[in-house]
């Protein structure tokens, strides 16, 4: 026959062994439960065994502390796993495979050259004092090809392209945005060469109103620290940050000083318009078009690259409807059947573009453009 104390001791030993096993497995929940059990048995024994009372009280207390510390660790691990994984999958979601090539961009020769040089310098063996740009600011009216330029950089390098919209990150992660940025740069370095493209950059720094949230301030300072810090470390890893904004005047001095290269991406001039029309009518016969005339109209109407892309789409549709008047009727056919047929096309004509011009309007005015020009004169370069 065994007495109560002996029984409790047996149970204590059993619980202790299970605790050890759970700890080895990394099963913190069970380990904690077993530690609490140990504590309970210790206190029971202390009640029954007067000679060893002190000893078992102390031991019980120790087990309880062990259980508490496991509770804390569990919390920390859960937090890390959640935050870490959430960030990670969000960051992976920002990675875009870029197929854009330099020749997909009309005009902007100067900008293209500078970006190409930056990329090339980053790759070449070079004296220590020659450092490639880490951050480049692209500014200009909407739709002028800023995103396109960043994609082409990534495409030509076969680099990992992170497409980050500053305002989206802020609204999704708010207080956590700066942590997200650190994680993002960690992943960018892992997957180098990388291009981190930050769109709507002005969302982080509104000098005009002076009213920036704490969250955007922290996100911005983390970002600037990443830009600074990385400069001195291993220079053979390329992580190039391209920031884009349609409202450069919203950026404050502190930000500007971190982006010594600020590049104006203007509306296309006449030559650029011709190139952009050609890019967006690829595969079609344009020999009947007077490209000069179209380009002049585009310049006069303050068209951006995006407006020209839309113009071409509209014109192409006018042509398609013209030679396929019953097109919509084919909607009754099964998709398999459709795939066997071919869309009729004819060479594009000036009249197609005349129709299209009526539909495309640029939101910009001369005043807007002057503002970009002035900012460029003062801060650009």
Residues that bind ligand ADP in the complex, under the rule CB under 6 A: 105-108, 142-148, 244, 276, 279, 305-306, 309
- How far, in Å, CA of 240 to CA of 237, rounded? 9
As measured in angstroms, the least distance from the Cβ of 166 to Mg ion is 12
Torsion sign, CA atoms 264, 266, 269, 274: positive
Tokens, residue 241: 């940050």
As measured in angstroms, the least distance from the Cβ of 362 to Mg ion is 16
Residue with token string 């192409």: 316
As measured in angstroms, the least distance from the Cβ of 138 to ligand ADP is 8
- Categorise residue 143: left if φ over 0, alpha if ψ from -120 to 50, beta otherwise: left
Between 8 and 240, whose beta carbon lies closer to ligand ADP?
240
Quick one: what does residue 145 bind among ligand ADP, Mg ion, none, with the CB cut-off 5 to 8 Å set by partner type?
ligand ADP
Beta carbons of 203 and 251 less than 8 angstroms apart? no
Quick one: what does residue 59 bind among Mg ion, ligand ADP, none, with the CB cut-off 5 to 8 Å set by partner type?
none
As measured in angstroms, the least distance from the Cβ of 375 to ligand ADP is 16
Among the listed residues 150, 160, 178, 166, the one whose alpha carbon sits nearest the alpha carbon of residue 87: 178
Between 13 and 365, whose beta carbon lies closer to ligand ADP?
365
- Shortest-Cβ-distance residue relative to ligand ADP: 305
Between 35 and 265, whose beta carbon lies closer to Mg ion?
265
Kindly give the interhelix angle for 270-279 and 305-323, rounded to the nearest 10 degrees.
50
Quick one: what does residue 143 bind among Mg ion, ligand ADP, none, with the CB cut-off 5 to 8 Å set by partner type?
ligand ADP
Between 43 and 317, whose beta carbon lies closer to ligand ADP?
317
Cβ neighbours of residue 19 under 8 Å, at least 6 residues apart?
A: 31, 34, 35, 37, 38
Q: Which of residues 127-156 bind Mg ion (CB under 5 A)?
A: 147
- How far, in Å, CA of 104 to CA of 279, rounded? 6
Between 118 and 245, whose beta carbon lies closer to Mg ion?
245
Write out the residues near Mg ion by the rule CB under 5 A.
147
């Amino acid at each position: 026959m065994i007495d109560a104390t002996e029984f409790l001791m047996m149970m204590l030993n059993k619980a202790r062994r299970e605790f050890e096993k759970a700890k080895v497995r990394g099963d913190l929940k069970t380990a904690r439960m077993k530690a609490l059990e140990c504590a309970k048995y210790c206190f029971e024994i202390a009640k029954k065994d007067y000679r060893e009372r002190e000893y078992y009280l102390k031991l019980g207390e120790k087990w309880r502390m062990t259980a508490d510390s496991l509770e804390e660790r569990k919390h920390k691990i859960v937090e890390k796993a959640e935050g870490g994984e959430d960030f990670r999958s969000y960051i992976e979601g920002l990675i875009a495979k870029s197929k854009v090539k330099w020749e997909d961009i009309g005009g902007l020769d100067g900008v293209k050259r500078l970006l190409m040089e930056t990329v090339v310098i980053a790759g070449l063996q070079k004296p220590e004092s020659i450092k490639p740009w880490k951050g480049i600011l692209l500014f200009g009216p909407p739709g002028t090809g800023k995103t396109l330029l960043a994609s082409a950089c990534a495409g030509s390098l076969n680099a990992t392209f992170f497409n980050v919209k500053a305002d989206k990150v802020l609204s999704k992660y708010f207080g956590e945005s700066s942590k997200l940025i650190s994680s993002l740069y960690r992943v960018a370095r892992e997957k180098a060469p990388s291009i981190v493209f930050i769109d709507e950059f002005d969302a982080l720094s509104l000098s005009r109103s002076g009213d920036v949230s704490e969250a955007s301030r922290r996100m911005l300072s983390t970002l600037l620290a990443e830009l600074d810090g990385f400069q001195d470390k291993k220079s053979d890893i390329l992580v190039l940050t391209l920031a884009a904004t349609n409202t450069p005047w919203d950026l404050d001095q502190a930000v500007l000083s971190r982006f010594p290269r600020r590049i104006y991406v203007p509306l296309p001039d006449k030559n650029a318009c011709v190139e952009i029309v050609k890019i967006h009518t690829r595969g079609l016969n344009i020999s009947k078009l007077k490209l000069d005339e179209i380009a002049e109209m585009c310049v006069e109407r303050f068209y951006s690259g995006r407006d020209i892309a839309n113009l071409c789409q509209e014109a192409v549709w006018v042509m398609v409807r013209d030679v396929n008047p019953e097109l919509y009727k084919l909607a009754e056919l099964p998709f398999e059947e459709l795939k066997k047929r071919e869309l009729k096309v004819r060479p594009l004509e000036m009249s197609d573009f005349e129709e299209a011009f009526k539909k495309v309007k640029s939101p910009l005015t001369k005043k807007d453009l002057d503002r970009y020009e002035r900012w460029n004169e003062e801060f650009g370069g």
